[in-house]
């Protein structure tokens, strides 16, 4: 298995730490005068999301992780397994509910997502920054009703619930920012 030595450490490097695939998020060289350097690294566990600090002596090595970030098309889900396809190779992968996480509430069939693969299996799925979804349920906004500050909840076709302006109706197509979960604008 390939490995990296401390002189190759840099942000974004994918390595295995305690059996988990991880990414280096900070690499600081600490060099005492007249001595060998140390690398103080902050490492993010790509499965748990935790960031931990470790110190390595110059010359120590870490196992490289076979981690790939790639765009894949969301095909369909049965509520238990989500299927994605690589658009250039047509290879398909399956991700479970935990791996898809919050992203499940934003994606509809044919949306392109950023999938992180470890040894060929998905460990995280990120939705596109903006998605277009149809409103399946919302109360008609009554004119002059500002009791809730001019907005109301709306349920989207994926089951996600967002706050929308009062003029939005059932059947409308909305543009949503998946990073904040907020309504952006009407979509054509």
Binding of residue 68 to another protein (CB under 8 A)? no
Q: Which stretch binds another protein (CB under 8 A): 47-55, 94-102, 143-151, 170-178?
A: 47-55
When binding is defined by CB under 8 A, the residue of 16, 38, 77, 151 that contacts another protein is 38
Token digits for 137? 């349920």
Binding of residue 29 to another protein (CB under 8 A)? yes
Binding of residue 93 to another protein (CB under 8 A)? no
Question: CB of residue 38 vs another protein: minimum separation in angstroms?
Answer: 7
Cα first-last separation, the chain? 50
When binding is defined by CB under 8 A, the residue of 48, 55, 119, 136 that contacts another protein is 55
Measured from the CB atom, the residue of 54 and 130 that comes closer to another protein is 54
Q: Radius of gyration (Cα) for the chain, nearest Å?
A: 22
Per-residue binding string, another protein, 109-138, x by CB under 8 A, is: ------------------------------
What gap in Å lies between CA 188 and CA 183, rounded to an integer? Answer: 14
Binding of residue 48 to another protein (CB under 8 A)? no
Binding of residue 7 to another protein (CB under 8 A)? yes
Q: Which residues bind another protein (CB under 8 A)?
A: 7, 28-38, 52-57, 59-60
């Amino acid at each position: 298995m390939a490995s990296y030595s401390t002189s190759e450490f840099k942000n974004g490097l994918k390595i295995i730490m305690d059996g988990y695939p991880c990414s280096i998020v900070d690499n600081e060289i600490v060099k005492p005068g007249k001595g060998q350097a140390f690398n103080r690294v902050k490492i993010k566990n790509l499965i748990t999301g935790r960031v931990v600090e470790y110190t390595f002596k110059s010359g120590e090595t870490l196992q490289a992780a076979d981690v790939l970030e790639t765009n894949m098309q969301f095909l369909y889900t049965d509520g238990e397994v989500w299927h994605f396809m690589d658009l250039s190779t047509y290879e398909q992968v399956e991700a479970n509910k935990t791996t898809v996480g919050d992203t499940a509430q934003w994606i509809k069939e044919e949306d392109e997502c950023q999938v992180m693969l470890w040894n060929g299996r998905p460990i995280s799925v990120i939705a596109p920054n903006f998605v277009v979804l149809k409103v399946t349920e919302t109360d008609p906004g009554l004119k002059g009703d500002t009791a809730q500050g001019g907005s109301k909840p709306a349920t989207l076709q994926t089951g996600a619930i967002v706050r929308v302006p009062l003029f939005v109706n059932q059947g409308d197509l909305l543009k949503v920012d998946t990073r904040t979960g907020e309504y952006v604008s009407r979509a054509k």
